[in-house]
Amino acid sequence: MNATDRTPADLLRSALAADAARPLVTFYDDATGERVELSVATFANWVAKTANYLQDELSAEPGDRVALLLPGHWQTAVWLMACHSVGVVAAPGGDPGAADLVVSGPDTLEAARACSGERIALALRPLGGRFPQPPAGFRDYALEVPGMGDRFAPYAPVDPEEPALVVAGREFSGAELVERAGAEAPGLGLTGPTSRILSALPYDTWAGVAAGLYAPLAIGGSVVLCRNLDQLSDEALAKRVDSERVTATAR
């Protein structure tokens, strides 16, 4: 994190400038056997495409609220950072009925229908695959986002003092989010670029988003996101910690 970083999007730009090739997010789904590793550059490319999709296709504007009904997943991390890039308010686990847009996984589609605005569905399939048949009333993210631009520029500068995140009923501005993530990183065992945290926490709590994205990003580290970790044996988990060079855990 640089002294000039005031928003989460600033943190990502600093990470790109420091070492674009290093791993940033590694994702496991122990129900499917999926493993995905995204470098800083690959993650930033997904963020840019998603931010362009939000701004140009969905007409999202700064101050709009996006309910993210998604689990701890690499695509959830992408959506959080895309929201921060545009200046819209990300609300993991938020009320879709009070949101301007909703982004839903396959297990929360019925709840997502409470949103009167645009509804986007993520199949959460390996390799970012699409739905065999898009859910009625939803746009299929995997079908629409690949053609979006690889570079993003917001129509209006993102104000670090405006709301950026609402999680578990608490609102954070971009500046507060960056400051708190950096301040709490040492308590999570994250001390610098070699720090690598394994997180199995959901993204609908501060602890989950801090360990699963913001804190490692703030200190130049990385995260190993694990979904359905309870299906892994203790021996297999120990092997993962070793093979992924994990230095801290959040479970």
pLDDT tens for each residue of 21-35: 999 999 999 999 999
Per-residue pLDDT band at 241 (split at 50, 70, 90): very high
- Residue 98 structure tokens: 């009070």
Give the CA distances from residue 86 to residues 65, 81, 213, 217, 219, in Å, rounded to whole numbers and listed in that order. Answer: 11, 9, 18, 18, 23
Query: Is 202 within 8 Å of 168 (Cβ atoms)?
Result: no
Query: Is 24 within 8 Å of 11 (Cβ atoms)?
Result: no
Closest by CA to 75, choosing from 137, 112, 130, is 130
Side-chain-side CA neighbours of 207 within 13 Å: the count stands at: 10
Residue bearing the bigger pLDDT, 80 or 129: 80
Percent of the chain with pLDDT over 70: 100
Q: What is the mean pLDDT of the chain?
A: 96
Q: Largest Cα–Cα distance in the chain?
A: 50
- Residue burial 204-219, b: 16+ Cβ < 10 Å; e: rest: bbbbbbbbbbbbbbbb
The domain segmentation of the chain, as residue ranges, is 8-250
Rounded Cα gap, residues 87 and 149, in angstroms: 18
pLDDT for 167 equals 97
Q: Cα 23–25–30 angle (5° rounding)?
A: 120
pLDDT for 127 equals 82
Q: What is the pTM of this model?
A: 0.97
Query: Is 209 within 8 Å of 203 (Cβ atoms)?
Result: yes
Stretch 195-207: mean pLDDT: 97
pLDDT for 128 equals 85
Stretch 204-216: mean pLDDT: 98
Rounded Cα gap, residues 20 and 245, in angstroms: 19
Per-residue pLDDT band at 82 (split at 50, 70, 90): very high
- Strand ranges across the sheet with 248-250: 34-39, 23-29, 222-227, 196-199, 248-250
Stretch 99-118: mean pLDDT: 98
Q: Is 59 left (phi over 0), alpha (psi -120 to 50) or beta?
A: left
Per-residue pLDDT band at 165 (split at 50, 70, 90): very high
Neighbours of 169 (CB within 10 A): 8
Give the CA distances from residue 191 to residues 74, 131, 195, in Å, rounded to whole numbers and listed in that order. Answer: 22, 40, 6
Per-residue pLDDT band at 163 (split at 50, 70, 90): very high
Query: Is 156 within 8 Å of 88 (Cβ atoms)?
Result: no
- Structural fold of domain 8-250: Rossmann fold (3.40.50)
